Amino acid sequence: MTKTLPKTLGALRASEYGRAPRRGRSVKDELRANLLARIGDGQPLFKGVLGYEDTVMPQIVNALLSRHHFILLGTRGQAKSRILRALTTLLDSAIPVIAGSEVNDDPFAPISKFGRDLIAQAGEDTPIAWLSPDQRYVEKLATPDVTVADLIGDLDPIKAARGGHLFSDELSIHYGMLPRANRGIFALNELPDLAGKVQVGLFNVMQEGDVQIKGYPVRLALDVVLAFTANPEDYTARGKIITPLKDRIGSEIQTHYPATVDLALEITQQEAWTQRDGLPVRVPELVAEVAERVAFEARKEKRVDQRSGVSQRLSITLLENIVSNAERRAVRLGEKAVVPRLADLYAALPAITGKIELEYEGELVGGAVIARELIRRAADATLKERESRLNLDEIVMWFDTGSALQVSDDATGAGARAGFATVPGLIEMIVASSLPSEDDDALVAACELVLEALVARRKLTRSEGGQYGRSVRRQGGFPPEHPEREE
Protein backbone atom coordinates (compact mmCIF):
# COMPACT_ATOMS: atom_id res chain seq x y z
CA MET A 1 0.00 0.00 0.00
CA THR A 2 1.39 3.42 -0.95
CA LYS A 3 2.36 5.56 2.01
CA THR A 4 0.50 8.90 2.19
CA LEU A 5 2.83 11.85 1.77
CA PRO A 6 2.49 14.85 4.11
CA LYS A 7 0.42 17.72 2.70
CA THR A 8 1.33 20.50 5.13
CA LEU A 9 4.54 21.85 6.58
CA GLY A 10 3.60 20.72 10.08
CA ALA A 11 2.91 17.16 8.93
CA LEU A 12 6.14 17.20 6.92
CA ARG A 13 8.14 18.36 9.92
CA ALA A 14 6.73 15.51 12.02
CA SER A 15 7.24 12.91 9.29
CA GLU A 16 10.16 10.63 8.56
CA TYR A 17 11.34 13.03 5.87
CA GLY A 18 11.49 15.90 8.32
CA ARG A 19 13.80 13.94 10.57
CA ALA A 20 15.81 12.07 7.95
CA PRO A 21 19.32 12.95 6.72
CA ARG A 22 17.75 13.80 3.36
CA ARG A 23 16.42 17.04 4.80
CA GLY A 24 18.48 19.92 3.48
CA ARG A 25 20.57 17.65 1.23
CA SER A 26 21.71 19.25 -2.05
CA VAL A 27 20.99 17.73 -5.45
CA LYS A 28 24.67 16.92 -5.91
CA ASP A 29 24.75 15.09 -2.58
CA GLU A 30 21.52 13.31 -3.48
CA LEU A 31 22.94 12.08 -6.81
CA ARG A 32 26.16 11.08 -5.10
CA ALA A 33 24.44 9.08 -2.34
CA ASN A 34 22.07 7.27 -4.71
CA LEU A 35 24.92 6.55 -7.13
CA LEU A 36 27.05 5.00 -4.37
CA ALA A 37 24.09 2.86 -3.35
CA ARG A 38 23.59 1.68 -6.93
CA ILE A 39 27.28 0.87 -7.32
CA GLY A 40 27.21 -1.02 -4.02
CA ASP A 41 24.26 -3.10 -5.20
CA GLY A 42 26.09 -3.96 -8.43
CA GLN A 43 23.33 -2.48 -10.60
CA PRO A 44 23.99 -1.01 -14.07
CA LEU A 45 24.32 2.76 -14.03
CA PHE A 46 21.90 3.52 -16.87
CA LYS A 47 19.71 0.94 -18.58
CA GLY A 48 19.67 1.01 -22.38
CA VAL A 49 23.03 2.78 -22.74
CA LEU A 50 25.39 0.22 -24.29
CA GLY A 51 29.10 0.21 -25.07
CA TYR A 52 30.23 2.78 -22.51
CA GLU A 53 30.76 0.44 -19.56
CA ASP A 54 34.56 0.69 -19.59
CA THR A 55 35.02 4.14 -21.12
CA VAL A 56 32.35 6.81 -20.63
CA MET A 57 30.49 5.44 -17.59
CA PRO A 58 33.48 5.47 -15.20
CA GLN A 59 34.08 9.12 -16.11
CA ILE A 60 30.43 10.02 -15.48
CA VAL A 61 30.58 8.22 -12.14
CA ASN A 62 33.71 10.16 -11.18
CA ALA A 63 32.09 13.46 -12.18
CA LEU A 64 28.98 12.78 -10.10
CA LEU A 65 30.94 11.54 -7.12
CA SER A 66 33.05 14.71 -7.35
CA ARG A 67 29.84 16.81 -7.41
CA HIS A 68 30.82 18.34 -10.75
CA HIS A 69 28.83 20.05 -13.44
CA PHE A 70 29.87 18.19 -16.61
CA ILE A 71 29.69 18.20 -20.39
CA LEU A 72 29.36 15.25 -22.80
CA LEU A 73 31.46 15.95 -25.87
CA GLY A 74 30.93 13.89 -29.00
CA THR A 75 29.57 13.75 -32.53
CA ARG A 76 25.93 13.08 -33.32
CA GLY A 77 24.19 9.84 -32.47
CA GLN A 78 26.32 8.89 -29.45
CA ALA A 79 23.51 8.72 -26.83
CA LYS A 80 24.46 12.01 -25.15
CA SER A 81 20.88 13.17 -24.60
CA ARG A 82 19.82 9.71 -23.46
CA ILE A 83 22.52 9.73 -20.79
CA LEU A 84 21.41 13.14 -19.52
CA ARG A 85 17.79 12.04 -19.28
CA ALA A 86 18.84 8.87 -17.48
CA LEU A 87 20.30 10.99 -14.67
CA THR A 88 16.78 11.23 -13.25
CA THR A 89 17.05 7.58 -12.21
CA LEU A 90 19.59 8.69 -9.60
CA LEU A 91 17.17 11.15 -7.99
CA ASP A 92 14.97 10.39 -4.98
CA SER A 93 11.51 9.05 -5.79
CA ALA A 94 9.88 12.27 -4.48
CA ILE A 95 10.87 15.49 -2.74
CA PRO A 96 8.67 18.09 -0.99
CA VAL A 97 8.27 21.66 -2.25
CA ILE A 98 6.12 24.57 -1.21
CA ALA A 99 2.94 24.25 -3.27
CA GLY A 100 2.70 26.94 -5.95
CA SER A 101 6.38 27.89 -5.84
CA GLU A 102 7.85 28.56 -9.26
CA VAL A 103 11.37 27.71 -8.08
CA ASN A 104 10.57 24.50 -6.17
CA ASP A 105 11.20 26.06 -2.76
CA ASP A 106 12.46 23.72 -0.05
CA PRO A 107 9.86 23.99 2.75
CA PHE A 108 12.66 24.13 5.33
CA ALA A 109 14.79 26.69 3.45
CA PRO A 110 12.79 28.69 0.87
CA ILE A 111 14.80 30.92 -1.47
CA SER A 112 11.98 32.97 -3.03
CA LYS A 113 9.96 35.80 -1.51
CA PHE A 114 6.81 33.88 -2.39
CA GLY A 115 7.91 30.90 -0.31
CA ARG A 116 9.04 32.96 2.66
CA ASP A 117 5.86 35.03 2.67
CA LEU A 118 3.64 31.95 2.43
CA ILE A 119 5.33 30.30 5.41
CA ALA A 120 5.11 33.54 7.39
CA GLN A 121 1.35 33.68 6.71
CA ALA A 122 0.32 30.01 6.90
CA GLY A 123 2.96 28.65 9.28
CA GLU A 124 2.59 24.92 9.89
CA ASP A 125 -0.42 24.85 7.53
CA THR A 126 1.72 25.82 4.53
CA PRO A 127 0.64 23.47 1.69
CA ILE A 128 3.23 20.99 0.46
CA ALA A 129 3.51 19.41 -3.00
CA TRP A 130 5.77 16.56 -4.09
CA LEU A 131 7.92 16.36 -7.21
CA SER A 132 8.81 13.16 -9.06
CA PRO A 133 12.27 12.70 -10.66
CA ASP A 134 10.92 13.52 -14.13
CA GLN A 135 9.48 16.80 -12.85
CA ARG A 136 12.93 17.76 -11.58
CA TYR A 137 14.58 17.47 -14.99
CA VAL A 138 14.57 20.49 -17.30
CA GLU A 139 16.10 20.24 -20.78
CA LYS A 140 16.76 23.02 -23.26
CA LEU A 141 18.16 22.90 -26.78
CA ALA A 142 20.56 25.81 -27.15
CA THR A 143 19.88 27.98 -30.18
CA PRO A 144 21.31 31.39 -31.14
CA ASP A 145 18.01 33.11 -30.31
CA VAL A 146 17.96 31.97 -26.65
CA THR A 147 18.25 34.99 -24.34
CA VAL A 148 19.36 35.57 -20.78
CA ALA A 149 15.72 36.18 -19.92
CA ASP A 150 14.80 32.73 -21.25
CA LEU A 151 17.35 31.01 -19.04
CA ILE A 152 17.53 33.26 -15.97
CA GLY A 153 14.41 35.46 -15.94
CA ASP A 154 13.17 39.01 -16.37
CA LEU A 155 10.80 41.57 -14.92
CA ASP A 156 7.17 40.92 -15.88
CA PRO A 157 5.08 44.13 -16.13
CA ILE A 158 1.83 42.17 -16.46
CA LYS A 159 2.62 40.10 -13.38
CA ALA A 160 3.45 43.29 -11.47
CA ALA A 161 0.22 44.99 -12.56
CA ARG A 162 -2.04 42.05 -11.76
CA GLY A 163 -0.48 41.59 -8.33
CA GLY A 164 -0.24 45.28 -7.56
CA HIS A 165 3.54 44.99 -7.10
CA LEU A 166 6.21 47.58 -7.72
CA PHE A 167 8.92 46.73 -10.24
CA SER A 168 11.32 46.76 -7.30
CA ASP A 169 9.34 43.91 -5.71
CA GLU A 170 10.75 40.43 -6.16
CA LEU A 171 7.23 39.14 -6.81
CA SER A 172 7.25 40.94 -10.19
CA ILE A 173 9.95 38.61 -11.54
CA HIS A 174 9.19 36.02 -14.21
CA TYR A 175 11.64 33.20 -13.60
CA GLY A 176 13.49 31.54 -16.48
CA MET A 177 14.13 27.87 -17.04
CA LEU A 178 17.18 27.68 -14.80
CA PRO A 179 15.51 28.93 -11.59
CA ARG A 180 12.55 26.66 -12.37
CA ALA A 181 15.01 23.74 -12.38
CA ASN A 182 15.98 24.51 -8.78
CA ARG A 183 16.54 21.33 -6.73
CA GLY A 184 16.87 19.35 -9.93
CA ILE A 185 18.93 18.86 -13.10
CA PHE A 186 19.21 21.41 -15.88
CA ALA A 187 20.43 19.95 -19.19
CA LEU A 188 21.54 22.18 -22.05
CA ASN A 189 22.04 20.48 -25.41
CA GLU A 190 24.43 21.86 -28.08
CA LEU A 191 26.04 24.38 -25.74
CA PRO A 192 28.26 26.06 -28.41
CA ASP A 193 25.09 27.30 -30.16
CA LEU A 194 24.33 29.49 -27.16
CA ALA A 195 25.37 33.12 -27.68
CA GLY A 196 28.47 34.17 -25.75
CA LYS A 197 26.65 36.80 -23.66
CA VAL A 198 24.09 34.18 -22.61
CA GLN A 199 26.85 31.76 -21.64
CA VAL A 200 28.15 34.50 -19.35
CA GLY A 201 24.81 34.35 -17.53
CA LEU A 202 25.69 30.83 -16.36
CA PHE A 203 28.85 31.91 -14.52
CA ASN A 204 27.26 32.69 -11.16
CA VAL A 205 25.14 29.56 -11.16
CA MET A 206 28.16 27.33 -11.68
CA GLN A 207 30.60 29.07 -9.36
CA GLU A 208 28.59 30.80 -6.62
CA GLY A 209 25.37 28.82 -7.02
CA ASP A 210 23.11 31.82 -7.48
CA VAL A 211 21.53 34.01 -10.17
CA GLN A 212 20.87 37.73 -10.43
CA ILE A 213 17.93 38.97 -12.47
CA LYS A 214 17.97 42.24 -14.43
CA GLY A 215 20.60 43.83 -12.20
CA TYR A 216 18.23 43.34 -9.27
CA PRO A 217 19.61 43.28 -5.73
CA VAL A 218 17.98 39.84 -5.37
CA ARG A 219 20.16 36.73 -5.30
CA LEU A 220 18.62 33.29 -5.63
CA ALA A 221 20.80 30.58 -4.14
CA LEU A 222 19.92 27.82 -6.60
CA ASP A 223 20.54 24.15 -5.94
CA VAL A 224 20.93 22.67 -9.41
CA VAL A 225 23.20 20.30 -11.34
CA LEU A 226 24.15 21.54 -14.80
CA ALA A 227 24.85 19.03 -17.57
CA PHE A 228 25.74 19.99 -21.14
CA THR A 229 26.28 18.33 -24.50
CA ALA A 230 28.30 19.56 -27.47
CA ASN A 231 29.57 18.37 -30.83
CA PRO A 232 33.29 19.10 -31.41
CA GLU A 233 32.44 20.32 -34.90
CA ASP A 234 30.23 23.03 -33.40
CA TYR A 235 33.26 24.75 -31.92
CA THR A 236 34.16 26.06 -35.36
CA ALA A 237 31.07 25.53 -37.51
CA ARG A 238 28.49 27.45 -35.51
CA GLY A 239 29.91 28.78 -32.27
CA LYS A 240 32.15 28.01 -29.35
CA ILE A 241 32.14 27.53 -25.62
CA ILE A 242 33.69 30.63 -24.09
CA THR A 243 36.82 29.96 -22.06
CA PRO A 244 35.55 31.15 -18.64
CA LEU A 245 32.54 28.83 -18.94
CA LYS A 246 34.72 25.86 -19.91
CA ASP A 247 36.82 26.62 -16.85
CA ARG A 248 33.74 26.29 -14.64
CA ILE A 249 32.66 22.91 -16.07
CA GLY A 250 34.12 20.32 -13.73
CA SER A 251 34.44 17.36 -16.12
CA GLU A 252 34.57 17.09 -19.91
CA ILE A 253 33.64 13.56 -20.97
CA GLN A 254 34.26 12.30 -24.49
CA THR A 255 31.69 9.94 -26.00
CA HIS A 256 32.31 7.63 -28.98
CA TYR A 257 30.72 5.27 -31.48
CA PRO A 258 30.54 1.49 -30.88
CA ALA A 259 33.98 -0.08 -31.12
CA THR A 260 32.83 -3.42 -32.57
CA VAL A 261 30.19 -4.58 -35.02
CA ASP A 262 28.71 -6.97 -32.45
CA LEU A 263 28.15 -4.11 -30.01
CA ALA A 264 26.69 -1.91 -32.74
CA LEU A 265 24.33 -4.74 -33.71
CA GLU A 266 23.14 -4.98 -30.12
CA ILE A 267 22.43 -1.25 -30.02
CA THR A 268 20.60 -1.29 -33.35
CA GLN A 269 18.50 -4.29 -32.38
CA GLN A 270 17.55 -2.49 -29.17
CA GLU A 271 16.57 0.75 -30.91
CA ALA A 272 15.20 -0.25 -34.34
CA TRP A 273 11.49 -0.85 -34.85
CA THR A 274 11.57 -4.18 -36.61
CA GLN A 275 8.80 -6.21 -34.98
CA ARG A 276 5.77 -4.87 -36.78
CA ASP A 277 2.09 -5.32 -36.00
CA GLY A 278 1.43 -7.43 -39.08
CA LEU A 279 3.43 -10.38 -40.40
CA PRO A 280 6.24 -11.81 -38.26
CA VAL A 281 9.67 -10.39 -39.10
CA ARG A 282 12.84 -12.47 -39.33
CA VAL A 283 16.04 -10.65 -40.27
CA PRO A 284 18.82 -12.99 -41.50
CA GLU A 285 22.02 -12.41 -39.55
CA LEU A 286 24.02 -11.63 -42.71
CA VAL A 287 21.56 -8.90 -43.71
CA ALA A 288 21.68 -7.35 -40.24
CA GLU A 289 25.48 -7.44 -40.21
CA VAL A 290 25.90 -5.88 -43.65
CA ALA A 291 23.45 -3.13 -42.70
CA GLU A 292 25.48 -2.44 -39.56
CA ARG A 293 28.79 -2.41 -41.40
CA VAL A 294 27.53 0.31 -43.74
CA ALA A 295 27.98 2.80 -40.90
CA PHE A 296 31.45 1.43 -40.11
CA GLU A 297 32.47 1.81 -43.75
CA ALA A 298 31.05 5.34 -43.83
CA ARG A 299 33.18 6.26 -40.80
CA LYS A 300 36.27 5.29 -42.82
CA GLU A 301 35.22 6.89 -46.11
CA LYS A 302 37.37 9.93 -46.97
CA ARG A 303 34.58 11.53 -49.03
CA VAL A 304 32.33 11.59 -45.94
CA ASP A 305 32.86 14.45 -43.47
CA GLN A 306 34.22 12.66 -40.41
CA ARG A 307 34.16 15.82 -38.30
CA SER A 308 30.38 15.78 -38.49
CA GLY A 309 30.33 12.07 -37.70
CA VAL A 310 28.18 9.18 -38.92
CA SER A 311 25.38 8.70 -36.43
CA GLN A 312 24.32 5.36 -35.03
CA ARG A 313 20.90 6.42 -36.26
CA LEU A 314 22.09 5.51 -39.76
CA SER A 315 22.15 1.82 -38.84
CA ILE A 316 18.84 2.07 -36.99
CA THR A 317 16.90 3.80 -39.75
CA LEU A 318 18.59 1.68 -42.42
CA LEU A 319 17.45 -1.54 -40.77
CA GLU A 320 13.93 -0.15 -40.36
CA ASN A 321 13.80 0.78 -44.07
CA ILE A 322 15.11 -2.64 -45.05
CA VAL A 323 12.39 -4.33 -43.04
CA SER A 324 9.77 -2.01 -44.51
CA ASN A 325 10.79 -2.85 -48.09
CA ALA A 326 10.68 -6.57 -47.26
CA GLU A 327 7.30 -6.05 -45.59
CA ARG A 328 5.95 -4.37 -48.72
CA ARG A 329 7.17 -7.31 -50.83
CA ALA A 330 5.77 -9.92 -48.43
CA VAL A 331 2.31 -8.34 -48.38
CA ARG A 332 2.24 -7.94 -52.16
CA LEU A 333 3.30 -11.58 -52.74
CA GLY A 334 1.18 -13.05 -49.95
CA GLU A 335 4.13 -14.47 -48.02
CA LYS A 336 3.73 -15.64 -44.43
CA ALA A 337 6.75 -13.80 -42.99
CA VAL A 338 8.81 -10.69 -43.64
CA VAL A 339 12.37 -11.70 -44.49
CA PRO A 340 14.69 -8.91 -45.72
CA ARG A 341 17.36 -9.58 -48.36
CA LEU A 342 20.57 -7.71 -49.18
CA ALA A 343 18.85 -6.29 -52.24
CA ASP A 344 16.58 -4.39 -49.85
CA LEU A 345 19.56 -2.27 -48.80
CA TYR A 346 19.48 -0.59 -52.20
CA ALA A 347 15.83 0.27 -51.69
CA ALA A 348 16.82 1.85 -48.36
CA LEU A 349 19.32 4.33 -49.81
CA PRO A 350 17.43 7.35 -48.35
CA ALA A 351 18.28 6.10 -44.88
CA ILE A 352 21.99 6.38 -45.79
CA THR A 353 22.16 9.51 -47.92
CA GLY A 354 20.27 11.52 -45.33
CA LYS A 355 22.71 10.59 -42.58
CA ILE A 356 26.07 11.41 -44.17
CA GLU A 357 27.66 14.81 -44.78
CA LEU A 358 29.90 14.79 -47.84
CA GLU A 359 33.21 16.47 -48.46
CA TYR A 360 33.74 18.33 -51.76
CA GLU A 361 34.88 15.20 -53.61
CA GLY A 362 31.84 13.34 -52.32
CA GLU A 363 29.52 16.06 -53.51
CA LEU A 364 30.96 15.72 -57.02
CA VAL A 365 30.22 12.00 -57.07
CA GLY A 366 26.85 12.16 -55.32
CA GLY A 367 25.45 10.67 -52.15
CA ALA A 368 23.58 7.83 -53.86
CA VAL A 369 26.73 6.56 -55.62
CA ILE A 370 28.72 6.64 -52.38
CA ALA A 371 25.88 4.90 -50.53
CA ARG A 372 25.92 2.03 -53.05
CA GLU A 373 29.67 1.71 -52.67
CA LEU A 374 29.31 1.60 -48.89
CA ILE A 375 26.79 -1.25 -49.19
CA ARG A 376 29.15 -3.28 -51.39
CA ARG A 377 32.15 -2.63 -49.18
CA ALA A 378 30.08 -3.63 -46.15
CA ALA A 379 29.18 -6.89 -47.90
CA ASP A 380 32.83 -7.52 -48.77
CA ALA A 381 33.93 -6.85 -45.18
CA THR A 382 31.25 -9.23 -43.91
CA LEU A 383 32.35 -11.97 -46.29
CA LYS A 384 36.02 -11.55 -45.33
CA GLU A 385 35.11 -11.74 -41.67
CA ARG A 386 33.00 -14.84 -42.16
CA GLU A 387 34.89 -16.83 -44.77
CA SER A 388 38.19 -15.80 -46.31
CA ARG A 389 38.99 -19.05 -48.15
CA LEU A 390 36.14 -19.23 -50.64
CA ASN A 391 37.15 -20.09 -54.20
CA LEU A 392 35.16 -17.60 -56.26
CA ASP A 393 36.95 -18.12 -59.58
CA GLU A 394 34.35 -20.53 -60.97
CA ILE A 395 31.58 -18.00 -60.36
CA VAL A 396 33.54 -15.16 -61.95
CA MET A 397 34.35 -17.33 -64.98
CA TRP A 398 30.66 -18.09 -65.50
CA PHE A 399 29.86 -14.39 -65.67
CA ASP A 400 32.90 -13.78 -67.90
CA THR A 401 31.35 -15.98 -70.54
CA GLY A 402 28.66 -13.32 -70.93
CA SER A 403 26.11 -14.86 -68.57
CA ALA A 404 24.04 -12.58 -66.35
CA LEU A 405 21.76 -13.01 -63.36
CA GLN A 406 18.66 -10.98 -62.58
CA VAL A 407 16.88 -11.66 -59.28
CA SER A 408 13.84 -9.42 -59.17
CA ASP A 409 12.97 -7.46 -56.05
CA ASP A 410 9.49 -8.94 -56.46
CA ALA A 411 10.76 -12.53 -56.29
CA THR A 412 9.69 -14.74 -53.42
CA GLY A 413 12.30 -16.38 -51.21
CA ALA A 414 11.96 -19.62 -53.16
CA GLY A 415 12.13 -17.74 -56.45
CA ALA A 416 15.33 -15.96 -55.38
CA ARG A 417 16.89 -19.30 -54.40
CA ALA A 418 15.99 -20.74 -57.78
CA GLY A 419 17.61 -17.76 -59.46
CA PHE A 420 20.88 -18.16 -57.60
CA ALA A 421 20.85 -21.89 -58.36
CA THR A 422 21.46 -21.02 -62.03
CA VAL A 423 24.98 -19.86 -61.13
CA PRO A 424 27.10 -23.05 -61.27
CA GLY A 425 28.65 -24.01 -57.93
CA LEU A 426 27.37 -20.97 -55.99
CA ILE A 427 24.93 -22.74 -53.68
CA GLU A 428 27.16 -25.79 -53.27
CA MET A 429 30.11 -23.60 -52.30
CA ILE A 430 28.06 -21.75 -49.68
CA VAL A 431 26.66 -24.93 -48.16
CA ALA A 432 30.21 -26.28 -47.81
CA SER A 433 31.44 -23.04 -46.20
CA SER A 434 30.87 -21.49 -42.78
CA LEU A 435 28.28 -19.06 -44.14
CA PRO A 436 24.74 -19.50 -42.74
CA SER A 437 22.68 -21.75 -45.02
CA GLU A 438 20.27 -23.52 -42.69
CA ASP A 439 17.19 -22.49 -44.71
CA ASP A 440 16.26 -20.82 -47.99
CA ASP A 441 16.29 -17.32 -46.49
CA ALA A 442 19.77 -17.70 -45.02
CA LEU A 443 21.00 -19.28 -48.24
CA VAL A 444 19.65 -16.43 -50.37
CA ALA A 445 21.34 -13.90 -48.09
CA ALA A 446 24.63 -15.77 -48.40
CA CYS A 447 24.36 -15.90 -52.20
CA GLU A 448 23.71 -12.17 -52.34
CA LEU A 449 26.64 -11.57 -49.99
CA VAL A 450 29.06 -13.41 -52.27
CA LEU A 451 27.91 -11.57 -55.40
CA GLU A 452 27.91 -8.16 -53.69
CA ALA A 453 31.46 -8.82 -52.47
CA LEU A 454 32.52 -9.64 -56.02
CA VAL A 455 31.00 -6.36 -57.17
CA ALA A 456 32.98 -4.55 -54.46
CA ARG A 457 36.16 -6.22 -55.77
CA ARG A 458 35.34 -5.07 -59.34
CA LYS A 459 35.00 -8.63 -60.59
CA LEU A 460 31.30 -8.26 -61.32
CA THR A 461 28.93 -5.38 -61.95
CA ARG A 462 25.50 -4.74 -60.55
CA SER A 463 23.03 -2.56 -62.42
CA GLU A 464 20.55 -0.30 -60.69
CA GLY A 465 17.90 -2.84 -61.63
CA GLY A 466 19.73 -5.55 -59.67
CA GLN A 467 21.28 -7.47 -62.59
CA TYR A 468 24.69 -9.05 -61.95
CA GLY A 469 26.97 -9.34 -64.96
CA ARG A 470 30.49 -9.29 -66.35
CA SER A 471 32.80 -6.62 -64.93
CA VAL A 472 33.10 -3.50 -67.11
CA ARG A 473 36.77 -3.34 -66.23
CA ARG A 474 37.38 -6.89 -67.41
CA GLN A 475 35.86 -5.89 -70.75
CA GLY A 476 38.37 -3.05 -71.09
CA GLY A 477 35.90 -0.35 -70.08
CA PHE A 478 36.16 2.36 -67.49
CA PRO A 479 39.07 2.16 -65.06
CA PRO A 480 38.41 1.27 -61.39
CA GLU A 481 39.02 4.89 -60.37
CA HIS A 482 35.50 5.61 -61.66
CA PRO A 483 33.35 2.84 -60.18
CA GLU A 484 30.29 5.06 -60.36
CA ARG A 485 30.28 4.65 -64.15
CA GLU A 486 29.68 0.95 -63.73
CA GLU A 487 26.20 1.79 -62.55
Beta-bridge mates of residue 226: 186
Give φ, ψ of 24 to 5 degrees: 80, 5
Percent of the chain with pLDDT over 90: 57
Report if residue 4 sits inside a domain: no
Q: Decide if 1 is inside a domain.
A: no
Do 355 and 248 belong to one domain? no
Q: What is the band of 408 on the pLDDT scale with cuts at 50, 70, 90?
A: confident
The Cβ of residue 47 has, within 10 Å, a number of other Cβ atoms equal to 9
Q: Look at residues 254, 269, 291 and tell me which one is the last residue of a structural domain.
A: 254
Domain endpoint, select from 229, 254, 279: 254
Question: Is 2 within a domain?
Answer: no
- Assigned domain for 422 exists: yes
Are 17 and 115 found together in one domain? yes
Whether residue 266 sits in one domain with residue 227: no
Residue 177 lies in a domain: yes
Q: Is the pLDDT confidence value at 464 over 50?
A: yes
| Burial (0-12, 13-18, 19+ Cβ within 10 Å), 24 | exposed
Greatest Cα pair distance, the chain, in angstroms, is 97
Average of pLDDT values for 333-337?
90
Same domain, 265 and 306: yes
Domain count, the chain: 2
Give the CATH number of the domain where residue 13 resides.
Answer: 3.40.50.300
By percentage, how much of the chain surpasses pLDDT 70?
Answer: 90
Contact 297, 378 (CB under 8 A): yes
Distance CA 314, CA 77 (A): 9
Is a pLDDT exceeding 70 seen at residue 215?
A: no
Based on the domain organization, do 234 and 267 belong to the same domain? no
Q: What's the pLDDT tens digit per position in 414-455?
A: 888 899 999 999 999 988 888 888 888 899 999 999 999 999
3 occurs within a structural domain: no
Model confidence at 266: pLDDT above 90 = yes
* 214 is a domain residue: yes
Q: What is the pTM of this model?
A: 0.86
In this structure, the answer to whether residues 231 and 92 fall within a common structural domain is yes
**Quick one: average pLDDT of 250-279?**
93
User: Among 237, 254, 271, where does a domain finish?
Assistant: 254
| Shared domain check, 76 and 43 | yes
Binned at pLDDT 50, 70 and 90, residue 472 comes out as: low
Query: Is residue 473 included in any domain, yes or no?
Result: yes
Residue 392 DSSP symbol:
-
Q: Tell me what pLDDT residue 252 has.
A: 94
Backbone angles phi, psi at 335, to 5 degrees: -80, 160
* pLDDT beyond 60 at 234: no
- Is 429 exposed, middle or buried, given 0-12, 13-18 or 19+ CB atoms closer than 10 A? buried
For residues 160 and 305, membership in a common domain is answered with no
368 and 452: one domain? yes
Q: What is the pLDDT of residues 133-161, one digit of tens each?
A: 999 999 999 988 898 888 887 766 666 66
Expressed as residue numbers, the domain containing 334 is: 261-486
Tell whether 140 and 192 lie within a shared domain: yes
At 240 the three-state DSSP class reads coil
- Shared domain check, 293 and 184: no
Render pLDDT for 77-133 as a digit per residue (tens, 0 to 9): 999 999 999 999 999 999 999 999 989 999 999 988 889 999 999 999 999 999 999
- 114 and 209 share a domain? yes
28-86 residue pLDDT tens: 999 999 999 999 998 888 988 999 999 999 999 999 999 999 999 999 899 999 999 99
